[in-house]
């Protein structure tokens, strides 16, 4: 099997993992859940870039949802997805009209 090339250095990934650990906006339960998720995707042998993208997406979701992840409902997830779709539409409109 071909070995995946890791475009980003491991130090960048470690920076993001440390950022989760030190983020004062995250509760301890959320930090534990995110770190478990990171551990899971590392075991799945995902690239550092993909893991970093997942971390940033989870942090953004936390800012939008404003609940502990363990308390999130389907409706909370839908709200986040709608928020992301709105941002994408605004971003696309901005660049098309420029």
Residue-level pLDDT at 63: 85
Helix axes 74-97, 48-65, angle to 10 degrees: 110
Enter the tokens of residue 69. 């992840």
Q: Indicate the range of 3-12, 22-31, 62-71, 83-92 predicted with least confidence.
A: 3-12
pLDDT bracket for residue 95 (50, 70, 90): low
Residue-level pLDDT at 42: 92
Buried residues in 18-47 as b, exposed as e (16+ CB within 10 A): eebeeeeebeeebeebbeebbeeeeeeebe
Say if CB 44 and CB 54 are below 8 A apart.
Answer: no
pTM: 0.72
Domain range annotation of the chain: 10-97
CB within 8 A of 22, min separation 6: which ones? Answer: none
Residue-level pLDDT at 2: 55
pLDDT at 35 over 80: yes
């Amino acid at each position: 099997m071909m070995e995946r090339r890791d475009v980003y250095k491991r130090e960048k990934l470690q920076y993001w993992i440390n950022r989760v650990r030190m983020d004062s906006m995250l509760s301890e339960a959320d930090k534990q859940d995110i770190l478990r998720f990171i551990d899971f995707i590392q075991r799945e042998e995902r690239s550092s870039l993909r893991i970093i993208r997942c971390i940033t997406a989870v942090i953004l979701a936390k800012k939008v949802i404003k609940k502990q992840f363990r308390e999130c409902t389907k409706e909370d997830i839908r709200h986040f997805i709608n928020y992301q779709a709105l941002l994408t539409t605004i971003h696309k409109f901005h660049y098309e009209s420029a």
